[in-house]
Amino acid sequence: MATPPSLRIARLLLFAAAACAFAVPVFIGARAAFVSPVLLLFGAPIALFVAAHQTIPSDSMRAHTFALAGASAMTALAILTGFGAGDVSFPAAGIGVLAAWSTWLHPPRRKVVVLFVAYVAVGLVVAVFRTRGFFLAPFIVGDVLLWPATLLFLSPALFGLPIFAGLGIALALGAYAFRQALPLSRPVLALAAAAAAGALAVGVVVALAFASPNSSARFELVPAGLAGIFAAAFASVLGLLAMRRSPLIAGLGIAAGTTILTLASLSPASVSCQQHGYSTSSGPWWLGPPGSMSASGGGGGSSGTFGGAIVRGDGTTIRFTCNGSTLSEFVIEQH
């Protein structure tokens, strides 16, 4: 029996998406002075696209889920690495989205074709609005096909949401596709395992914070932040263990919990002191989006003491003092 053209196209695009997901970190690593461990996360979309490629001939619904998860993860990582490699990561993510659509277009159905055409049309409108009609060749694929994520770029408060939520959605979809392989635990055991995961996550955060005396991480260990870490890890693990019983609720728990864990993991400390200076960020993750931000400071010389302040658009001011490479003072003033 001849292979349908829609299946050949879908498998070709899924293979191309996996190859692009592999090529992006290789390209970044080849031209970067420092290779970040974050690049290892590209293994997730590679595996998901390969899984979709292998399952689409026999189980198209699982292939849909794998491909959507791969596209979500690839989009998140493209934005995360896009500040220095957007000319490569955004087109690669666009191919990933196109590959995900191709799984839904096999076999072609009128409603899905209309939805795809409408999706591309909206992407063109959003791209024209964002770029004012000025398209750059390497970015045009991403500008058109990644519009649900890039549309959020118009709001500074939501700029990072596609990164954190994208990885959370990818994990939830991946868990749904693999749900039959996940353990079916009794509710009491599942709750105990989730609580243990929450306690472990908090312990790791505290240990890493005190292992970095040059940063503000240990000063940022407030009850609200630690509670958020515990709840996020609890929801993620409980969602994985409950996926076979209640896929929708479990998926929402995984997506929400992973989003918070990713946000907390990828957010740098507010202040990091070096021997001859310091670096700052917008503040602890649990403060939320800063809106706008400005930093000021001074000092140095023979004393090796630096002081400064981070002023956020939400009215919060963060004051700090560095004695050489040690952070000696850190205060958050909320108005």
Crossing angle of helices 247-266 and 161-177, rounded to 10°: 140
Listed by start position, the domains of the chain span 1-155, 178-266, 271-333
At residue 299, the pLDDT reads 67
At residue 242, the pLDDT reads 93
The pTM for the full model equals 0.84
Q: What is the separation of C-alpha 169 from the centre of its chain, rounded to a whole number of angstroms? A: 9
Highest-pLDDT range among 28-32, 205-209, 274-278, 280-284: 205-209
For 210, other C-beta atoms within 10 Å of its C-beta total 11
How many residues can be counted in the chain? 335
Q: What is the pLDDT of residues 279-297, one digit of tens each?
A: 888 889 998 888 777 877 7
Q: What is the pLDDT of residues 59-71, one digit of tens each?
A: 999 999 999 999 9
Cβ neighbours of residue 2 closer than 8 Å, sequence gap 6 or more: none
